[in-house]
């Protein structure tokens, strides 16, 4: 039995209407941090660091993906749609939602799966403390929503056809 995995990359203008972007030939989504800080050395040589905020940078790219939405295998928005979305909303803050496998921090244990009472009762009893939440589960804890600007967008036509193009896309969002 197979089940569909939710789209990994979505955009929205109002946080209610979401546009799913195709996963065809999408490269791994990169989530990086930008730390806004002031660092300086004191007279005695010690280092002082004042961290103002930590903001996210989300980068996604597609290699040789369909420009036409009609040709995508998952029925989600294609490269030409994403290009027109960027052109219409380049200076408008937008929402980005990522569906990824995530860590459920509610059940993290530092005892490697054993609680002290279980170790005393029986050394062979193991409690599953798996913190992995798959992205295709009904639990929506795998969704992460960010609010930010599109800070970089590259659109390159790599192959031409009569009805559609194959395109390479790079897009970067920076959290507000």
pLDDT in tens, 102-147: 554 444 444 444 444 444 444 444 455 555 444 444 444 568 899 9
- CA 55 to CA 31: how far, in whole Å? 10
Alpha helix (H) residue ranges in 90-162: 116-121
What are residue 151's phi and psi, to 5 degrees?
A: -100, -15
Strands, DSSP E only, in 19-93? 19-20, 30-41, 47-66
- CA 166 to CA 158: how far, in whole Å? 6
Continuous segment of H or E residues that includes residue 146: strand 143-160
pLDDT in tens, 135-148: 444 444 568 899 99
Say what the pTM is: 0.71
Q: Which among 74, 129, 83 is positioned nearest to 106, based on CA atoms?
A: 129
Q: Are 144 and 102 in contact (CB under 8 A)?
A: yes
pLDDT band at 8; cut points 50, 70, 90: confident
pLDDT in tens, 33-51: 999 999 999 999 999 999 9
> What integer pLDDT is reported at residue 1 of this predicted model?
41
Q: Which among 81, 85, 105, 84 is positioned nearest to 95, based on CA atoms?
A: 85
Measured in whole angstroms, the distance separating CA 65 from the mean position of its chain's CA atoms is 19
- CA 20 to CA 30: how far, in whole Å? 18
- CA 82 to CA 88: how far, in whole Å? 10
> What integer pLDDT is reported at residue 117 of this predicted model?
47
pLDDT band at 162; cut points 50, 70, 90: confident
């Amino acid at each position: 039995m197979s089940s569909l995995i939710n789209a990994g990359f979505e955009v929205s203008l109002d946080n209610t209407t979401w546009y799913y972007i195709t996963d065809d030939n999408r490269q791994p989504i990169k989530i990086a941090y930008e730390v806004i800080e002031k660092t300086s050395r004191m007279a005695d040589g010690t280092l002082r660091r004042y961290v103002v905020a930590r903001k996210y940078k989300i980068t996604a790219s597609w290699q040789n993906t369909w420009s036409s939405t009609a040709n995508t295998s998952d029925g989600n928005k294609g490269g030409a749609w994403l290009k027109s979305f960027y052109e219409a909303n380049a200076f408008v803050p937008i929402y980005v939602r990522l569906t990824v496998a995530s860590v459920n921090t509610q059940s993290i244990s530092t005892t490697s799966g054993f609680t002290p009472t279980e170790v005393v009762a029986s050394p062979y009893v193991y409690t599953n403390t798996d913190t992995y939440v798959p992205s295709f589960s009904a639990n929506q804890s795998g969704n992460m929503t960010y609010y930010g600007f599109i800070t970089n967008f590259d659109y390159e036509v790599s192959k031409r056809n009569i009805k559609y193009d194959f395109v390479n896309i790079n897009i970067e969002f920076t959290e507000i």
